[in-house]
C-alpha cells in the first residue's frame, strides 16, 4: 500500500494542443478512497491514465509512495486498473483473465492458483471461472474486472467509471460492495466518475476537476457545504446550488457591518460588507416559500416537480432562475407569484470571476 | 374457377413438353438416319458402278442397273432414288432435281434435305465432281415413337400426370398429391428420354443392317475373296456413314445380330457380315444412344417444369392472400436477381460444364465426344506430371505463411497514422493493384541471368551469377518471391483493418497487467486477430493453389517442370494437349483438394472470437 502524489501534473495531447490537465497537484494518503469527479472532458480519465502509466505527462511528477514513477512503464508501478468497459480479454476464460497479470509476473503456478481462488471466493465468481466474458452478464463482468484487479494485490487501485455500464439497482449494490472491499483491503483507491452520487457516497475525499484544473479537494461535506467556486457549487448537488447575480450595497447596512444584495426581484440582507457585483449561492433546500411580500422578495412559479418526499419548485425571480426544495407535496399553479425566504446562515458568496468570497 | 382452369391447362400443357421434345428428338434422329443411309448408298454406288470409258463419269447403263437392283434388294427398306445429273433413274416418272438443288449439292458436298428426303451427292469415280445424287426418304412420322419406351408407360404416365395436375394445382392441394404429381411428371420425363434412346439405338441398328446389305452386294461384285483386301476396298462405303463407322476383317456367326461391345474402352455397335465360307467382316459404328446424354437433361428439365409451374401457381395463389408478402418477396428476388444471374452464368454453369466435361472425352478438334465415365480421373491420377505439379503447388503454398508473417509485421509497424506510414502502406499495396503480367516482366528482368539486377548485385559482391528462372533448383523459389511481393500489401491492409478492430482497452489492460510488447502481441493481439488470420490464410492458400499468371509469364511451367503447378497443368491439358476432359477432371480434383483444405482449416482454427 502506498500514497499517490501528483505534482503540477500537466498533459497536453499533440493533436489538439489544448491541455487536458493543467498543474494538478494532490496527494492521496495511503489507504484513502479518493473520488475524482468532473463532467465529461474535464481530464479526470487522463489523470487516471497518467497515474497508471498509460499516458506520459507533459510536465509534472507522479509519486507512488516515495518513488517517482513519472516515466516508468505501467508494469513497474504496481497499480491495478478497472476499465469502464472492463476490457476483459474475450478469448480467455474468467480464470485466465484473472490469472493473466499473475502469469505476466511469472508467479509460480501454485501461487497463481491460490490467489485466483481467493479472489474468486471474495467476489463470488466460483461458478463462472470457466466461462468466457461473452457468456457473462454485465454485473458478472464487473466482478471479474474487480477480481482481475484485486488478485494483483497492488499498491494502488484505479477505477475508471467502472459502474457506468450497470443499471441503477446493480450500481447501488456494487457501490456498497466496492466500499466493503475498500474496508477489507485498506488499499489506496482512486475512483473516477462523473456521477456526484457515487462521489458523495463513496469518496473519503473528492477531487473536483473542471477543464483540466483541480477546483476543489475535500471531504464530501466540505465540497457540499463550502464549495470553492461557483462551478463546484453548481456541479455538486441535485439540483445544484442556485446562483443569483446581484449587486451588493453596504451603504444602508453600515450600522450592522453588512450589506444589502439586490438580485432580480430579491433583496437579501447579508452579513458581509461588500460593494459591487456579487454572486449569491443558495442551495434549493435553503430556499423556502411564504406569502407575498413576507420574504426577501417575490417570484413567479414556472414549473413544479413533485418527487413524493419533496417538491422542486422552479421559480423566476425577476429574470433569474431559482429552485426551491419544499418538503412533502406542494401544489401551486404555474404562473402564481409567491414570496421567498432564504436561510441567512447558509448563503455562499462568489465574486464576478466565480471564486468564493466568504 | 376459371383461373383454376387456366392453371390446370398450364400444368397439364407443360406435362406434355417432355414427350414433345422426345418426338422432336426422334424426328431429328430419323432425318439423320436417312442422311446417313443416303451417304452410305452414294459411296456404294460410286464403288460398284464402273466408269464410262475415257471418263470419270459413270457408265449410264450400269448405273441404271445398280440403282434398280438396289431398290429391289431383299431386306432393303429405305425408299431410294438415284439421280444422274438431275434425272431420276429408279422411278423415271419421279420429278427431277432442280438445277439450283444440284448446284447447292456441288457447292456443299454434304447431305441436303430436299422434299422430305436426304440428298447425298454422288461423286464421279475420281471424286472430283458431283455427277448426281442419292435420295433416301425419311420414314413416316410414326417411326419416332417406340413401343419399348419404358415398357409403354409413357402414355399412361402422361395421362396420370395430367389427372394429377388437377389435384396439384387446386388451391387446397395437399402435399402428397403435389409429390405424386412431381414423381409422375419425372416418370414422363424418363419415359420421354427412354424413347429418345430407343430411337437412337434402333437407328444405329437399322443403319448397320442396311449397310450390311450394301457390303454383301459389294462383295458379290468384287473379284477378290481376300478379307483384308475386301475390307480395304469396301471401307469407304462404311466410312461414308460417319459417326465412327468402320469396316474391319474379323467377326463370326455369333455377331450376326447387332451387338454392343466395348472396343479399346469405347462403346461400339458391331455387326458381322459373312462374305464367304468362314470369312467375316465386322461393321462397326458408334452406338447412337451413347450420345443422347444431353436429351436426358433436357427431358428431365422439361419434366420438372410441370411441377415447377404447379408449385409456382400454388405459391402465387397463397401469396395472393397476403399481397404485402408477395410484393416483398418479389422485391427481394428483384434485388437478388443480378447477383444470382451473375453467379449462375459465371460460377454454377461453368462448374456444371466442367462436371460434364470431366466424364467425357472432349476435344475441340474431334466431333465425337463420348461418355467415358471416370476414365479422365484415372488418367489424371496416373499422369506423373500431375503429381509433379501437385508437389510444386504444395511447395509453392509455403509462401502463404511467409507472406502472412511479413504482412502482419508490416501492419504492426505501419499501424500508427502519419505521413510516412501512409506512403509506406501505399508503396506496399501498389504491387497488388498492378498488372501481374507487368510485374512478372519486371521481375523477369530482375532475375535475368546476364543483365538482371539480382546478378549484378551478386557480382558486385564477388559471387557467381545464378540463372534464377532457368535453374530448376531456384525457379520455384524465384516465382514464390514474386508472389510474396505481390500479395504482401493486400494482406497487410487486411491485417491493418483487423488491428483497428481490436479495442485499445485490451492492450491498455495488458500493459497495466504487466505484459511487455512481445507478450501483448502473442497473448492479446494475435488471439484477437484470429478471424482475420484465418481469412487471410484460407484465401491465401486458395489463391496459392490457383496460381497461374505469374507462372505462365515468368517460366511457362519450366524449367523441366520445376514450376509446373496445378492450374498451369490444367491449362496445358486443355489448350496444349486438347484434353478438355482431363483438364476438367483435374480442375474438379483441385476443387476437392481446396474444399478439404479449407474445411480442415475452419475446423482447426475456426471458433469465432466474440468481443465482450
Looking at residue B609, what is its pLDDT?
45
pLDDT interval class at B85 (50, 70, 90): confident
Lowest mean pLDDT among A126-130, A149-153, A317-321, B76-80: B76-80
What is the three-class DSSP state of A294?
coil
Mutate to test the interface with A, among B505, B508, B513 (most CBs of A within 10 A): B513
Residues of A with CB below 8 A from B512's CB?
A: 52-54, 74-75, 79-81, 101
**How far is B61 from B73, CA to CA, in rounded Å?**
18
Are the beta carbons of B516 and A133 separated by less than 8 Å?
Answer: no
What beta strand segments (E) does B342-480 contain?
none
B270/B259 Cα distance (integer angstroms): 5
pLDDT digits (tens, 9 = 90+) for B416-473: 888 898 999 999 999 999 888 898 888 988 888 888 888 888 888 888 788 888 888 8
Q: How far apart are CA A59 and CA B108, in angstroms?
A: 99
CB contact under 8 A, B506 and A86: no
**Cell numbers standing for residue A15:** 493533436
Spatial CA neighbour of A195 closest among A218, A158, A216, A165: A165
B161 vs B303: CA distance, rounded Å: 10
C-alpha triplet A194, A200, A202: angle, nearest 5°: 90
Question: In Å, how far is B532's CA from the nearest CA of chain A?
Answer: 14
The CA distances from residue A158 to A75, A101, A146, B169, in Å, are: 14, 15, 10, 73
Question: To which H or E segment does residue B604 belong?
Answer: helix B580-605
b/e map B107-144, b = 16+ CB within 10 Å: eeeebbeeeebbbbbbbbbeeeebbbbbbbbbbeeebb
Please enumerate residues of A whose Cβ is less than 8 A from a Cβ of B: 49, 52-54, 73-75, 79-81, 83-91, 100-101, 104-105, 132-134, 136, 141, 148, 152
DSSP string, A151-202: TT--SEEEEESTTTTS-HHHHHHHHHHHHHHHHHH--EEEEEES-HHHHHHH
B515 Cβ under 8 Å from any chain A Cβ: yes
Helix (H) or strand (E) holding A274: none
**Range with top average pLDDT, A251-265, A292-306, B47-61, B83-97:** A292-306
Q: What is the DSSP letter of A226?
A: S
B87 has pLDDT over 90: no
Average pLDDT over residues A7-14: 88
* Res. B612 pLDDT band, cuts 50 70 90: very low
Q: Helix or strand or coil: residue B186?
A: helix
pLDDT in tens, A88-107: 998 899 999 999 999 988 88
Q: Which of A56, A69, A73, A91 should we substitute to test contact with B (largest number of B Cβ atoms within 10 Å)?
A: A91
Longest dimension (CA), chain A: 80
Name the nearest CA neighbour of B194 among B155, B160, B150. B150
Rounded distance between C-alpha atoms, residue B112 and residue B121, angstroms: 8
DSSP B224-278: ---HHHHHHHHHHHHHTT-TT-EEEE---GGGSS-EEEEETTEEEEEEEEEEETT
pLDDT at B297 over 80: yes
Inspect the interface and report whether the beta carbons of B509 and A54 lie closer than 8 Å: no
Q: Is the pLDDT at B224 greater than 80, yes or no?
A: no
B488-515 average pLDDT score: 91
Question: pLDDT value at position B149?
Answer: 57
pLDDT band per the 50, 70, 90 thresholds, residue B480: very high
Could you give the C-alpha distances from B538 to B341, B432, B598, B600, in angstroms and in order?
A: 26, 18, 6, 10
**Average pLDDT score, chain A:** 89
Q: How far apart are CA B120 and CA B115, in angstroms?
A: 13
Measure the CA–CA gap between A226 and B355, rounded to whole angstroms.
87
Distance CA(B175)–CA(B187), nearest Å, equals: 18
For residue B346, give the C-alpha cell: 459465371
Span A275-300, pLDDT tens digits: 888 899 999 999 998 888 888 888 99
Q: Give the whole-angstrom CA distance, residue A126 versus residue B99.
A: 104
**Strands A33-37 and A188-193, bridge-based pairing:** parallel
Question: What pLDDT shows up at residue B171?
Answer: 64
Tens of pLDDT, residue by residue over A182-215, are 998 888 999 999 988 889 999 999 999 998 899 9
Which letter, b or e, does each residue of B61-88 get, where b requires 16 or more Cβ atoms within 10 Å of its Cβ? eebbebbeebbebeebebbbbbbbeeeb
CB contact under 8 A, A101 and B513: yes
**B605 reaches A (C-beta below 8 A):** no
Largest CA distance in chain B: 114
List CB contacts (< 8 A) between A87 and chain B: 503, 505-506, 508-509
Contact B90, B71 (CB under 8 A): yes
Torsional sign, CA A231, A233, A238, A241: negative
- Positive or negative: CA dihedral B428, B432, B434, B437: positive
> Is the entire prediction scored with pTM above 0.90?
no
Q: What is the DSSP letter of A349?
A: E
Q: A229 — phi, psi (to 5°)? A: -155, 175
Mean pLDDT of chain B: 83
Nearest to B505 among A87, A141, A152 (CB): A87
Instruction: Calculate mean pLDDT across residues A210-222.
Output: 91
> Is the preceding peptide bond at A239 cis, omega within 30 degrees of 0?
yes
CB contact under 8 A, A90 and B511: no
pLDDT tens-digit profile of B566-576? Answer: 899 999 888 88
Tell me the three cell numbers of residue B120.
Answer: 447425298
Closest by Cα among A174, A111, A115 to A141: A174
* Cα–Cα distance measured from residue B37 to residue B209, given in angstroms and rounded to the nearest whole number: 11
Residues of A in contact with B511 (CB under 8 A): 53-54, 73-75
Distance between CA atoms of B424 and B319, rounded to whole angstroms? 57
Of all residues in chain A, the one with the smallest CA distance to B503 is A87
Segment among A74-78, B64-68, B401-405 with least mean pLDDT: B64-68
Q: B520-555 pLDDT, tens per residue?
A: 999 999 999 988 998 899 889 989 998 898 899 888
Q: Tell me phi and psi for residue B176, to 5 degrees.
A: -60, -40
Amino acid at each position: 500500500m502506498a500514497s499517490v502524489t501528483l505534482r503540477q501534473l500537466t498533459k497536453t495531447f499533440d493533436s489538439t494542443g489544448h491541455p487536458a490537465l493543467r498543474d494538478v497537484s494532490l496527494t492521496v494518503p495511503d489507504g484513502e478512497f479518493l473520488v475524482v469527479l468532473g463532467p465529461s472532458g474535464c481530464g479526470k480519465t487522463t489523470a487516471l491514465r497518467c497515474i497508471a502509466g498509460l499516458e506520459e505527462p507533459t510536465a509534472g511528477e507522479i509519486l507512488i509512495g516515495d518513488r517517482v514513477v513519472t516515466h516508468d512503464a505501467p508494469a513497474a508501478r504496481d497499480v491495478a486498473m478497472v476499465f469502464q468497459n472492463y476490457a476483459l480479454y474475450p478469448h480467455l476464460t474468467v480464470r485466465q483473465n484473472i490469472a493473466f497479470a499473475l502469469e505476466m509476473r511469472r508467479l509460480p503456478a501454485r501461487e497463481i492458483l491460490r490467489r485466483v481462488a481467493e479472489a474468486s471466493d471474495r467476489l463470488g465468481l466460483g461458478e463462472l471461472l470457466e466461462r468466457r466474458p461473452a457468456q457473462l452478464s454485465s454485473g458478472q463482468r464487473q466482478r471479474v474486472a474487480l477480481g482481475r484487479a484485486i488478485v494483483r494485490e497492488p499498491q494502488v487501485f484505479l477505477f475508471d467509471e467502472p459502474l457506468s455500464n450497470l443499471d441503477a439497482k446493480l450500481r447501488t449494490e456494487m457501490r456498497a460492495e466496492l466500499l466493503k472491499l475498500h474496508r477489507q483491503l485498506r488499499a489506496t483507491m482512486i475512483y473516477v466518475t462523473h456521477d456526484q452520487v457515487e462521489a458523495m457516497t463513496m469518496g473519503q475525499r473528492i477531487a473536483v476537476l473542471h477543464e483540466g484544473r483541480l477546483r476543489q479537494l475535500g471531504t464530501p461535506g466540505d465540497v457540499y457545504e463550502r464549495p470553492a467556486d461557483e462551478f463546484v457549487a453548481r456541479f455538486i448537488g441535485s439540483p445544484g446550488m442556485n446562483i443569483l447575480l446581484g449587486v451588493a450595497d453596504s451603504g444602508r447596512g453600515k450600522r450592522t457591518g453588512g450589506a444589502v444584495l439586490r438580485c432580480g426581484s430579491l433583496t437579501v440582507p447579508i452579513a458581509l460588507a461588500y460593494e459591487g457585483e456579487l454572486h449569491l449561492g443558495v442551495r434549493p433546500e435553503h430556499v423556502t416559500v411564504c406569502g407575498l411580500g413576507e420574504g426577501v422578495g417575490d417570484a413567479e412559479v414556472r414549473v413544479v416537480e413533485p418527487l413524493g418526499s419533496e417538491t422542486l419548485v422552479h421559480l423566476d425571480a425577476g429574470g433569474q432562475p431559482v429552485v426551491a426544495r419544499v418538503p412533502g407535496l406542494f401544489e401551486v399553479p404555474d404562473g402564481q407569484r409567491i414570496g421567498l425566504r432564504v436561510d441567512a446562515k447558509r448563503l455562499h458568496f462568489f465574486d464576478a470571476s466565480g471564486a468564493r468570497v466568504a | 374457377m376459371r383461373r383454376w382452369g387456366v392453371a390446370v391447362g398450364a400444368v397439364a400443357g407443360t406435362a406434355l413438353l417432355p414427350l414433345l421434345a422426345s418426338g422432336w428428338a426422334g424426328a431429328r434422329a430419323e432425318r439423320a438416319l436417312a442422311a446417313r443411309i443416303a451417304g452410305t448408298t452414294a459411296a456404294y454406288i460410286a464403288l460398284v458402278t464402273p466408269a464410262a470409258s475415257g471418263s470419270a463419269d459413270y457408265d449410264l447403263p450400269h448405273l441404271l442397273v445398280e440403282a434398280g437392283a438396289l431398290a429391289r434388294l431383299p431386306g432393303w427398306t429405305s425408299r431410294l432414288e438415284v439421280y444422274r445429273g438431275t434425272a431420276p433413274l429408279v422411278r423415271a416418272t419421279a420429278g427431277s432435281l432442280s438445277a439450283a438443288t444440284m448446284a447447292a449439292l456441288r457447292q456443299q458436298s454434304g447431305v441436303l434435305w430436299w422434299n422430305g428426303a436426304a440428298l447425298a451427292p454422288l461423286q464421279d469415280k475420281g471424286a472430283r465432281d458431283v455427277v448426281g445424287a442419292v435420295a433416301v426418304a425419311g420414314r413416316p412420322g410414326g417411326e419416332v415413337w417406340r413401343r419399348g419406351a419404358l415398357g409403354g408407360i409413357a402414355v399412361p404416365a402422361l395421362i396420370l400426370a395430367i389427372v394429377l395436375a388437377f389435384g396439384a394445382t387446386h388451391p387446397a392441394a395437399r402435399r402428397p398429391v403435389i409429390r405424386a404429381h412431381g414423381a409422375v411428371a419425372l416418370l414422363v420425363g424418363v419415359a420421354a428420354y427412354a424413347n429418345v434412346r430407343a430411337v437412337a439405338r434402333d437407328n444405329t441398328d437399322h443403319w448397320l443392317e442396311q449397310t450390311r446389305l450394301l457390303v454383301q452386294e459389294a462383295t458379290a461384285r468384287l473379284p477378290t475373296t481376300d478379307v483384308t483386301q475386301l475390307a480395304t476396298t469396301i471401307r469407304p462405303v462404311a466410312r461414308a456413314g460417319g459417326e465412327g463407322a468402320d469396316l474391319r476383317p474379323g467377326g463370326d456367326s455369333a455377331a450376326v445380330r447387332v451387338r454392343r461391345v466395348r472396343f479399346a474402352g469405347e462403346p461400339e455397335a458391331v455387326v458381322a457380315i459373312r462374305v464367304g465360307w468362314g470369312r467375316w467382316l465386322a461393321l462397326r459404328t458408334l452406338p447412337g444412344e451413347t450420345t443422347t446424354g444431353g436429351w436426358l437433361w433436357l427431358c428431365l428439365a422439361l419434366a420438372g417444369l410441370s411441377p415447377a409451374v404447379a408449385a409456382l401457381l400454388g405459391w402465387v395463389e397463397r401469396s395472393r392472400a397476403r399481397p404485402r408478402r408477395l410484393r416483398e418477396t418479389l422485391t427481394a428476388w428483384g434485388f437478388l436477381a443480378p447477383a444470382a444471374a451473375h453467379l449462375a452464368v459465371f460460377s454454377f454453369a461453368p462448374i456444371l460444364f466442367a462436371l460434364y466435361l470431366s466424364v467425357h472425352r472432349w476435344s475441340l478438334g474431334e466431333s465425337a465426344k463420348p461418355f467415358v465415365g471416370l476414365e479422365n480421373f484415372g488418367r489424371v491420377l496416373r499422369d506423373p506430371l500431375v503429381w509433379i505439379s501437385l508437389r510444386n503447388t504444395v511447395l509453392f503454398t509455403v509462401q502463404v505463411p511467409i507472406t502472412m508473417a511479413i504482412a502482419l509485421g508490416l501492419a504492426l509497424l505501419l499501424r500508427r497514422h502519419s505521413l510516412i506510414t501512409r506512403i509506406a502502406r501505399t508503396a506496399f499495396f501498389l504491387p497488388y493493384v498492378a498488372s501481374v503480367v507487368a510485374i512478372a516482366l519486371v521481375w523477369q528482368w530482375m532475375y535475368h541471368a546476364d543483365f538482371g539486377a539480382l546478378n549484378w548485385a551478386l557480382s558486385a559482391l564477388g559471387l557467381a551469377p545464378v540463372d534464377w528462372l532457368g535453374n530448376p533448383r531456384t525457379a520455384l523459389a524465384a516465382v514464390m518471391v514474386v508472389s510474396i511481393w505481390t500479395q504482401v500489401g493486400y494482406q497487410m491492409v487486411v491485417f491493418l483493418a483487423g488491428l483497428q478492430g481490436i479495442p485499445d482497452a485490451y492492450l491498455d489492460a495488458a500493459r497495466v497487467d504487466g505484459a511487455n510488447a512481445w507478450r501483448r502481441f502473442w497473448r492479446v493481439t494475435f488471439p484477437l486477430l484470429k478471424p482475420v488470420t484465418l481469412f487471410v490464410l484460407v484465401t491465401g492458400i486458395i489463391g496459392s493453389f490457383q496460381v497461374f499468371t505469374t507462372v505462365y509469364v515468368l517460366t511457362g511451367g519450366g524449367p523441366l517442370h520445376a514450376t509446373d503447378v496445378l492450374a498451369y497443368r490444367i491449362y496445358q491439358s486443355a489448350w496444349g494437349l486438347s484434353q478438355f476432359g482431363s483438364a476438367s477432371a483435374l480442375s474438379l480434383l483441385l476443387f476437392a483438394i481446396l474444399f478439404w483444405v479449407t474445411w480442415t482449416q475452419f475446423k482447426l482454427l475456426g471458433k469465432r472470437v466474440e468481443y465482450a
